[in-house]
């Protein structure tokens, strides 16, 4: 049984991604054998006999690995050994030819791309077998949830987007819905949204632009001292761009929240350029006027009813509400504030209210606790370089000697954003020296060096990438690909390829937005800063981009006013995107606008890849002329069937129509699959729906020569109240009776037909 020292050393090795130290702790000999006391799985390690290949049929196996990875990540880190029989705990080896990049690419869909799993192959044997060692780092400021749903496992989802995984002993536990929220609350993990990292009664704390904070002890201590100082109202962080002012202030605010220093925390940002899903006017966490600051304070303190008051009364109410309260105001990017009333308000805060601000220059003059934010110290810069290398999967940087890392951060002038740029741009060991020499040769520091970095990025980009970056520089919060493509005037598929190129280059980040049910994209701070600077040089270009974005969000491309309103609200995130886009697509299909309809069907599926309604209507689109495509219709009906409701008419319709398609598909197993689907569909129907299903199922039975079963299915329709249904049934049953040699029934049926005709 491992003792406390063993576990402490293991945790430290996991944090340091030291796979060699971990291997030495667990194994001896070659081929390797587990050391005594380690013949079991535990909270920090897991054994798997083999590593699956990259083939698509192994998608479920990779999803299960992703669950173990996320569970370890959320529980403090861990290690997965591939090639150890988890029954006998002996080395069996795995031969899958895979590296760290491929490993992370297979799990990234489910766990996101904010952390990197180190994967090494150890004890390589003559036959190609090896021991795979995957080291999972511990989580940063918040526990992470799944970004996408797993494939079906025994007909059910193993996990869904938004679920939470945790390691408990030797088990991976999945928490869903309210259970996931409860676990997050119990563990004091922020329950975040796209706008705030923490959004709960009394607290709204902006989402930091980091996941794992690199400690800067000297400045961090100064920030906390400022927040505690009874003689100062405002802790003011000043320094050049790219030095990490916002990250340090965010850390200070989160520490204050964790330590319970304040009963209210209000976060606002004075960023001067932004665009949200509602159009050009911002609705994000921005400080655009004195009134917007007062409104945010009223919202957080629970007195939003005063937001409709005039400015003078509103200010008086705010001072009355926060006076005597332990309240902290976090104002980011104060240098862009032009409203002097905001500065006056911060300089005259009622006791014991405090503020923390970031700015390139000092703006608040009275009762200030100044914090000068310079560049990293050398050891801090190296830690930041390592953290960025791990996050970006640049193992070659992580493996460099300490001396080389020190040389690199010195060439970057110890500036956080330049180091981030450097890690994002270098692709291999050979480029390290090239970029390092370029940085040293620039003879520029501070703001000039940041400008130099962007120039090198910008010069290497394709025209499409430059257009996408300019659009992203306008947005304040992450937006879906549709908006980006609209602003850049690019087809969605080209915008998608371009975003993937930019994401691979570490210039753009993606995250799943539950409300929009799609991936959203944002530009990295360094790139955003200079991409917008480039954009404003061409005034007309910015005007044109903003016009295109306005047209997109206002849905002026939709002719019908009702549809336009619906699409506009969907694009703004105020309506369920999947269902509403399907309604628009169906309407366009009925109007004969097939190209537009197809695009909206595709958008609906991309927004909600589990929408049975979107898949069913798309399948119907391809089922009929002029868009007839039987292969596509079958493919989309298969997806509709996968996500169909558990019971009810909608389930019956999906099963019935999918069954009818399979019946006529010409596939080798088409008839048997159609039979199974139609039998299940029949259980969900009554009335006309039932009659159609019985006819289809009876026809399938006849083709399968199951004549008696066809009779059982069709005979109830003889009493159907609809004469058309009866007329369609008569010839089928007559044919069946004749094949079965039941001549009496043939005569009785003909008498029934004659009486029916006489009655009409």
Would residue 583 count as lying in a domain? Answer: no
User: What's the pLDDT at 329?
Assistant: 94
* pLDDT of 570 above 70: no
Alpha-carbon distance of 192 to 501, in angstroms, equals: 28
Angstrom CA distances, 429 to 400, 404, 434, 656, 686, stand at: 9, 11, 10, 58, 68
* pLDDT of 27 above 90: yes
DSSP H helical segments within 426-556, as ranges?
429-441, 446-460, 463-474, 481-488, 492-504, 525-537, 539-554
User: What's the pLDDT at 281?
Assistant: 36
Would residue 589 count as lying in a domain? Answer: no
The string of pLDDT tens digits covering residues 37-75 is: 899 999 999 999 999 998 888 999 999 999 999 999 998
Categorize the per-residue pLDDT at 722 as very low, low, confident or very high, splitting at 50, 70 and 90: confident
Top-ranked range on mean pLDDT: pick from 282-291, 365-374, 377-386: 377-386
Check if the beta carbon of residue 173 is closer than 8 Å to that of residue 166: yes
Check if the beta carbon of residue 522 is closer than 8 Å to that of residue 478: yes
CA angle at 677 for the pair 674 and 678, rounded to the nearest 5°:
80
Q: Which residue has the higher pLDDT, 223 or 214?
A: 223
Categorize the per-residue pLDDT at 549 as very low, low, confident or very high, splitting at 50, 70 and 90: confident
Cβ-proximal residues to 274 (8 Å cutoff; 6+ apart), any chain: 282, 284, 286, 474, 475, 476, 477
Alpha-carbon distance of 131 to 140, in angstroms, equals: 28
Alpha-carbon distance of 571 to 410, in angstroms, equals: 45
Same domain, 25 and 148: yes
Neighbours of 136 (CB within 10 A): 29
Alpha-carbon distance of 658 to 652, in angstroms, equals: 10
* pLDDT of 671 above 50: yes
Cβ-proximal residues to 214 (8 Å cutoff; 6+ apart), any chain: 380, 383, 384, 387
Same domain, 737 and 662: yes
* Overall average pLDDT of the 173-202 stretch: 78
Same domain, 360 and 382: no
CATH number for the domain spanning 501: value is: 1.10.10.10
Q: Which of 332, 121, 357, 147 is nearest to 235 (CA)?
A: 357
Categorize the per-residue pLDDT at 677 as very low, low, confident or very high, splitting at 50, 70 and 90: very high
Alpha-carbon distance of 165 to 72, in angstroms, equals: 8
Alpha-carbon distance of 530 to 453, in angstroms, equals: 9
Alpha-carbon distance of 411 to 426, in angstroms, equals: 14
Categorize the per-residue pLDDT at 274 as very low, low, confident or very high, splitting at 50, 70 and 90: very low
* pLDDT of 285 above 60: no
Check if the beta carbon of residue 45 is closer than 8 Å to that of residue 79: yes
Would residue 628 count as lying in a domain? Answer: no
Instruction: Name the token pair of 439.
Output: 């940085």
Instruction: Name the token pair of 292.
Output: 């917007």
Look at residues 430, 460, 490 and tell me which one is the last residue of a structural domain.
460
* pLDDT of 644 above 90: no
Q: Which of 236, 206, 242 is nearest to 223 (CA)?
A: 236
* Range of lowest pLDDT (187-196, 428-437, 609-618, 711-720): 187-196
Would residue 669 count as lying in a domain? Answer: yes
Check if the beta carbon of residue 650 is closer than 8 Å to that of residue 612: yes
Instruction: Name the token pair of 536.
Output: 């404003």
* pLDDT of 569 above 70: no
Half-sphere exposure of 63 (CA within 13 A, CB side): 19
Categorize the per-residue pLDDT at 279 as very low, low, confident or very high, splitting at 50, 70 and 90: very low
Same domain, 536 and 436: no
In three-state secondary structure terms, 538 is coil
* pLDDT of 420 above 90: no
Would residue 607 count as lying in a domain? Answer: no
Q: How many helices (H) and strands (E) does the chain have?
A: 32, 20
Same domain, 352 and 393: no
Alpha-carbon distance of 45 to 132, in angstroms, equals: 13
CATH number for the domain spanning 719: value is: 1.25.40.10
* pLDDT of 286 above 60: no
Tokens 């036959």 label which residue? Answer: 127
* pLDDT of 458 above 70: no
Tokens 């405002």 label which residue? Answer: 234
Tokens 């869903």 label which residue? Answer: 176
User: What's the pLDDT at 445?
Assistant: 55
Same domain, 475 and 456: no
Same domain, 438 and 471: no
Instruction: Name the token pair of 732.
Output: 């089928």
Same domain, 43 and 82: yes
Alpha-carbon distance of 125 to 130, in angstroms, equals: 6
The string of pLDDT tens digits covering residues 490-522 is: 887 888 888 877 765 556 777 767 666 677 888
Would residue 560 count as lying in a domain? Answer: no
Helix (H) or strand (E) holding 420: helix 416-425
Categorize the per-residue pLDDT at 428 as very low, low, confident or very high, splitting at 50, 70 and 90: confident
Total number of domains in the chain: 5
Categorize the per-residue pLDDT at 753 as very low, low, confident or very high, splitting at 50, 70 and 90: confident
Q: Which of 606, 567, 561 is nearest to 584 (CA)?
A: 567
Tokens 């797993």 label which residue? Answer: 150
Instruction: Name the token pair of 84.
Output: 């150890």
Half-sphere exposure of 276 (CA within 13 A, CB side): 14
Same domain, 131 and 48: yes
The string of pLDDT tens digits covering residues 87-110 is: 889 999 999 999 888 898 899 889
Check if the beta carbon of residue 736 is closer than 8 Å to that of residue 728: no
Q: Residue 227: is it exposed, middle or buried by C-beta count within 10 angstroms (0-12/13-18/19+)?
A: buried
Same domain, 157 and 260: no
Categorize the per-residue pLDDT at 280 as very low, low, confident or very high, splitting at 50, 70 and 90: very low
Look at residues 372, 396, 414 and tell me which one is the last residue of a structural domain.
372
Domain that holds residue 454: 378-460
Would residue 185 count as lying in a domain? Answer: no
* Range of lowest pLDDT (64-78, 199-213, 279-293, 660-674): 279-293
Same domain, 386 and 451: yes
CATH number for the domain spanning 63: value is: 3.30.950.30
User: What's the pLDDT at 675?
Assistant: 94
Helix (H) or strand (E) holding 522: strand 518-523
Cβ-proximal residues to 591 (8 Å cutoff; 6+ apart), any chain: none
Q: What integer best gives the mean pLDDT of the chain?
A: 83
**β partners of residue 523:** 508
Categorize the per-residue pLDDT at 13 as very low, low, confident or very high, splitting at 50, 70 and 90: very high
Alpha-carbon distance of 303 to 459, in angstroms, equals: 51
Look at residues 433, 460, 487 and tell me which one is the last residue of a structural domain.
460
User: What's the pLDDT at 422?
Assistant: 82
Same domain, 245 and 267: yes
Cα 670 to chain center, whole Å? 37
* pLDDT of 1 above 70: no
Categorize the per-residue pLDDT at 563 as very low, low, confident or very high, splitting at 50, 70 and 90: low
User: What's the pLDDT at 93?
Assistant: 93
In degrees and rounded to multiples of 5, residue 360 shows phi and psi of -75, -25
Would residue 681 count as lying in a domain? Answer: yes
The string of pLDDT tens digits covering residues 125-180 is: 988 999 999 999 998 777 888 988 888 887 788 998 889 999 988 899 999 888 88
CATH number for the domain spanning 358: value is: 3.40.50
Q: What is the CA radius of gyration of the chain?
A: 32
* Range of lowest pLDDT (200-209, 446-455, 621-630, 742-751): 446-455
In three-state secondary structure terms, 118 is strand
């Amino acid at each position: 049984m491992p003792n406390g020292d063993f576990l402490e050393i293991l945790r430290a090795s996991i944090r340091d991604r030291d796979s060699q130290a971990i291997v030495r702790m667990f194994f001896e000999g070659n081929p390797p054998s587990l050391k005594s006391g380690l013949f079991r799985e535990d909270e920090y390690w897991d054994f798997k006999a083999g590593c699956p290949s990259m083939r698509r049929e192994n998608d479920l196996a990779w999803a299960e690995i992703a669950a173990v990875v996320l569970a370890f990540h959320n529980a403090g880190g861990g290690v997965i050994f591939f090639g150890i029989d988890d029954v006998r705990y002996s080395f069996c080896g795995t031969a899958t030819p895979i590296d760290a990049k491929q490993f992370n690419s297979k799990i990234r869909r489910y766990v996101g791309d904010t952390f990197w799993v180190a994967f090494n192959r150890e004890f390589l044997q003559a036959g190609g077998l090896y021991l795979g060692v995957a080291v999972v780092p511990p989580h940063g400021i918040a526990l992470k949830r799944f970004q996408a749903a797993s494939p079906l496992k025994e007909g059910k989802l193993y996990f869904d987007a938004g679920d939470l995984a945790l390691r408990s002993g030797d088990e991976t536990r999945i928490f869903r819905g309210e259970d996931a929220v409860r676990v997050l609350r119990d563990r004091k993990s922020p329950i975040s949204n796209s706008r705030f990292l923490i959004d709960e009664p009394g607290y709204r704390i902006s989402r930091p632009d980091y996941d794992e904070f690199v400690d800067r002890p000297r400045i961090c201590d100064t920030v906390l001292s400022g927040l505690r100082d009874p003689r100062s109202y405002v802790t003011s962080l000043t320094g050049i761009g790219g030095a990490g002012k916002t990250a340090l202030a965010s850390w200070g605010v989160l520490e204050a929240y964790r330590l319970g220093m304040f009963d209210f925390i209000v976060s606002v940002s004075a960023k001067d350029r932004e665009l949200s899903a509602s159009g050009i006017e911002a609705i994000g966490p921005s400080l655009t006027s004195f009134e917007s600051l007062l409104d945010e304070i009223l919202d957080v303190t629970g007195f939003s009813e005063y937001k409709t008051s005039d400015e003078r009364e509103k200010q008086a109410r705010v001072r009355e509400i926060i006076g005597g309260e332990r309240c902290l105001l976090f104002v980011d990017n104060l240098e862009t504030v032009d409203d002097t009333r905001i500065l006056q308000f911060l300089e005259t805060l009622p006791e014991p209210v405090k503020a923390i601000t970031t700015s390139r220059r000092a703006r608040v003059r009275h009762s200030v606790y100044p914090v000068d934010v310079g560049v990293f110290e050398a050891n801090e810069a190296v830690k930041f370089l390592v953290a960025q290398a791990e996050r970006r999967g640049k193992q070659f940087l992580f493996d460099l000697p300490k001396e080389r890392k020190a040389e690199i951060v010195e060439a970057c002038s110890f500036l956080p954003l330049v180091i981030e740029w450097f890690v994002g741009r270098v692709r291999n060991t050979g480029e390290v020296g090239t970029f390092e020499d370029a940085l040293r040769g620039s003879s520029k520091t501070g703001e000039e060096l940041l400008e130099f970095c962007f120039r090198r990025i910008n010069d290497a980009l394709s025209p499409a990438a430059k257009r996408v970056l300019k659009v992203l520089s306008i947005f304040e919060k992450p937006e879906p690909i549709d908006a980006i493509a609209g602003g850049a005037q690019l087809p969605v598929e080209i915008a998608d390829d371009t975003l993937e190129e930019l994401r691979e280059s570490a210039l753009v980040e993606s995250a799943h937005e539950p409300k929009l049910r799609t991936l959203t994209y944002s530009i990295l701070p360094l790139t955003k800063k200079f991409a917008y600077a480039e954009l404003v040089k061409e005034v007309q270009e910015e005007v044109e981009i903003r016009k295109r974005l306005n047209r997109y969000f206002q849905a002026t491309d939709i002719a019908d006013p009702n549809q336009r309103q619906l699409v506009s609200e969907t694009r703004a995130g105020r309506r369920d995107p999947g269902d509403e886009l399907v309604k628009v697509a169906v309407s366009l299909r009925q109007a004969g606008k097939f190209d537009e309809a197809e695009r909206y069907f595709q958008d609906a599926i991309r927004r909600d890849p589990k929408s049975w309604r979107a898949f069913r209507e798309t399948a119907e689109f391809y089922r009929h002329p002029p868009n007839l495509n039987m292969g596509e219709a079958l493919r989309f009906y298969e997806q509709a069937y996968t996500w169909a409701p558990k019971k009810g008419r909608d389930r019956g319709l999906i099963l019935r129509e999918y069954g009818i398609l399979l019946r006529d598909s010409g596939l080798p197993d088409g008839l048997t699959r159609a039979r199974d689907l139609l039998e299940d569909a029949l259980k969900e129907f009554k009335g006309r729906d039932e009659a159609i299903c019985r006819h289809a199922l009876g026809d399938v039975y006849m083709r399968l020569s199951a004549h008696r079963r066809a009779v059982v299915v069709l005979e109830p329709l003889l009493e159907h109240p609809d004469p058309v249904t009866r007329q369609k049934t008569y010839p089928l049953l007559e044919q069946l009776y004749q094949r079965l040699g039941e001549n009496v029934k043939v005569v009785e049926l003909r008498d029934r037909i004659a009486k029916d005709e006489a009655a009409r």
